[in-house]
Structure 1
């Protein structure tokens, strides 16, 4: 039977709670005013707030780049559609549309690379913090917070396992409903959009690059616009996830770390 409070570990007490949640409740009752003592492990915590702000700004910039790319793609598609319908398109207009589309693509690449670097630094930091909050919530070591993204095919699920552990360890246990008070809807929605974006972008980019006829180019532009839209959705959801995890860790830092049960086996 799973813990009645967090729902993530096996219950081991008479009231149906795991050792982590039972320890949190005991610690809260044992100190005046419900305050929890600060263990030495909390000295290793590092605030993710500054990094979170930088990540959110960069994700916002990436979202803007996606919007500009969609607009440029729609403009180019309209020109191709006019020509396919027998209309004449001025060469200057063609060159302008092509240059605009390439420029927005370069902007997307620039914002993406900058976002990836800062996001990985933030993710590694919150993973190390989560280790202090609850070491039993993780099935993978902290290094996978970065390494998991670079495993071919494995990057479709390994980072989600890492973030899931971070979410569990960082979620509040002092509110009604315990860790159920931190719903995973933003986390799961973000990952679904991210995986769909990765899978679709591979085919869309190949189709657009290999297009020769007007119809093929139009189909390629449509698919690239769809991937840009998914990328935009993923960026917005990522902002929600970053803000939520950072807020939860700030709250947990105020409460202190709670005693944890036996550590699970981890991936090396």
Structure 2
């Protein structure tokens, strides 16, 4: 049979799900705890992560190649027009990249907050990190090395109950931290060809393109988690609504059966087997 909590197959002869360990006698969601829609926001987050990865690849590989070509043409013609256009192109790419990253960050943090809040409505699920860490975990010094990864792992684990959650989260966080710190350690500068430096474009593109690929892998891992967590939480909330609707209908039906018909004197309930005086 299918567990109403995690949606996975479980042994019908046990009181607890063999996959998520939840008590199958409990509802999928608590009736008096608010839940938040995550499907639409999750899809928007996935699209934003894909766009951020594409823009980063564009600004890290394509724009430097175009800039190099403009610089070579300018140097051959003995003018500085190519350098100016290369700088303008780079500035536009930087602005677009920044705006896309801001939008992506807003979507990711809001999605993570909603997904974490939904855990409070799931019996048997929970986290030792509050929903506020979905925002504060990224900006708190030192804590931002651990908290975002830990929160994403707990949300994904409590929502999916899959063995691959740990490796995917680890891959995302490793690539994310690598992208944040390796460029500083390698002192990457894609404007070297505009500053009179010795410039090996092939070596630069190999390194910088590799870093953009690391960024894309991090974005892909996070998008994969966002999509599957959104789907799992949406399905569980829907199952909970069905259970609560059925319980409310059963309660209303029971009340209507025991209710006193209109016109019965005294307003008392008729005794079984007795006679109603009209």
TM-score (norm 2): 0.66
Q: Deviations over 1:106-152 (max 9, x none)?
A: 11001001111121111100010122225654222221111111122
Q: Deviations over 1:7-58 (max 9, x none)?
A: xxxxxxxx9x89995443x428xxxxxxx465324x4111111211221222
Determine if the alignment matches structure 1 residue 45 to structure 2 residue 35: yes
Q: Which residue pairs with 1:93 in the alignment?
A: 82
Q: Which residue pairs with 1:233 in the alignment?
A: 217
Q: Which residue pairs with 2:189 in the alignment?
A: 208
Q: Deviations over 1:66-111 (max 9, x none)?
A: 132120023335667x69xx97775333222222122111110010
Q: Which residue pairs with 1:31 in the alignment?
A: none
Alignment of 1:12-31 (within 5 A): 21-24=20-23, 26-27=24-25
> 1-side partners of 2:28 and 2:68: how far apart?
62
* Structure 2 residue matching 1:215: 3-state secondary structure: coil
Q: Which residue pairs with 1:75 in the alignment?
A: 66
Give the gaps of 5 or more residues in structure 2: 1-5, 7-13, 242-278
* Structure 2 residue matching 1:132: 3-state secondary structure: coil
Determine if the alignment matches structure 1 residue 142 to structure 2 residue 131: yes
**Higher relative contact order (CA closer than 8 Å, sequence separation 6+):** 1
Of 96, 119, 143, the match for 1:130: 119
Q: How many residues align?
A: 223
Determine if the alignment matches structure 1 residue 65 to structure 2 residue 63: no
TM-score (norm 1): 0.68
RMSD: 3.6
Indicate the structure with greater helix content.
1
* Structure 1 residue matching 2:54: 3-state secondary structure: helix
Moved more, 62-71 or 131-140: 131-140
Give the gaps of 5 or more residues in structure 1: 1-5, 7-14, 29-35, 172-178, 258-268
> 1-side partners of 2:106 and 2:116: how far apart?
16
